[in-house]
Structure 1
């Protein structure tokens, strides 16, 4: 799989930086956010280095679909039963800070009302 040796998330995938894993398989990794905005807040990333949603190609459809399907399952496993939010920030103006495609999944009582 393609990776960027300077990418923070690629380093997490490679095991060079520790993370608190939620889920892992051959294509994706989910781990808890180190600065959570909600009682449950994890990131879901493809293991293939894709810089942002703007860089997606037709061949990436399956992995993005897999990520979308995994979120409800993982939220349920983590005890979130009354809804959750998913966010993909894209590009600098979209609030993206790490340029490796990632989906935030946040659950719990109204997490987006962080004060």
Structure 2
């Protein structure tokens, strides 16, 4: 059960329309489960989005096969970006839910070539709860992870 429900019907989703070919896109790669295309809001040359073909709002809505396929496609795209644009770094970014800064509610991951002083920053307040608290968090999460 997803933690966040997108109110946009799948047929009206921007990325679903893009996958269906109803709106144009600069496609980079496609397979049975994923589509990679240029981000219209290029941060740096070679900025690509990898999306699931099936409408899924967020990571928690993906099947294990879709999750694996997205990462395999992201790696394939990252290798192509490295070979083509030779950036000194690459950032993968994937957001879930409004509070997670997701803006398009169809699962996708950014494959972003990075350069020194490109204006992209990731900052958050660092909290250090202590070893005992961290161990408690780890134990709770380990108990919640379903056996493989």
Q: Normalising to structure 1: TM-score of the pair? A: 0.81
Structure 2, gaps ≥5 residues long: 1-8, 122-148
Q: Which structure's residues are more often strand, by fraction?
A: 1
CA distance in 2, matches of 1:27, 1:65: 11
Instruction: Tell me the matched-pair count.
Output: 113
Residue 51 (1) aligns with residue 51 (2): no
C-alpha contact 1:12 1:18 (8 A) present in aligned 2:
yes
Q: Which residue of 2 aligns with 1:40?
A: 46
Query: How far apart are residue 80 of structure 1 and its match?
Result: 2.9
Q: Normalising to structure 2: TM-score of the pair? A: 0.65
Structure 1, gaps ≥5 residues long: none
CA RMSD of the aligned region, Å? Answer: 2.3
Q: Deviations over 1:39-76 (max 9, x none)?
A: 22110011121111132344544323323432322323
Q: 11-20 or 104-113: which moved more?
A: 104-113
Q: Deviations over 1:81-108 (max 9, x none)?
A: 4221110011101111111100011104
C-alpha contact 2:47 2:111 (8 A) present in aligned 1:
yes
Q: Which structure's residues are more often helix, by fraction?
A: 2
Q: Deviations over 1:4-33 (max 9, x none)?
A: 211110100000010011111222111111
CA distance in 1, matches of 2:118, 2:62: 27
Structure of greater relative contact order (alpha carbons < 8 Å, 6+ residues apart): 1
Q: 1:17 to 1:77 in 2, by over 3 A?
A: farther
